[in-house]
């Protein structure tokens, strides 16, 4: 597992405050519908195995020889 030190914004609580504000304003309810096509595309790719380890390696090798 990878460990990453928290950012300054996280330590100061800025990130948490921004997320709470967005939740209270209902922005996430709107983006749920605006991001729906992108989310569906990602779900289909995941189901088809696009993000599996062999495919990741294949895409990496493909990039090397491009």
Where are the chain's structural domains? 35-66
Are 51 and 45 in contact, with CB atoms under 8 Å apart?
yes
State the pLDDT at residue 1: 63
The Cα 30–Cα 26 span in angstroms is 7
**pLDDT at site 43:** 97
What does the pLDDT read at residue 66?
A: 81
**Rounded to a whole number, what is the largest CA-CA distance in the chain?**
48
Answer yes or no: are the C-beta atoms of 22 and 28 closer than 8 Å: yes
- Using 50 as the pLDDT threshold, list the residues of the chain that sit under it: none
Q: What is the pTM of this model?
A: 0.60
SS3 category, 61: helix
């Amino acid at each position: 597992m990878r460990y990453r030190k928290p950012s300054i914004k996280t330590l100061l609580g800025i990130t948490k405050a921004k997320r709470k504000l967005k939740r209270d304003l209902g922005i996430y309810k709107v983006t749920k519908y605006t991001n729906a096509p992108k989310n569906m595309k990602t779900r289909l790719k995941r189901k088809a195995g696009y993000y599996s380890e062999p495919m990741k390696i294949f895409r990496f090798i493909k990039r090397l020889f491009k």
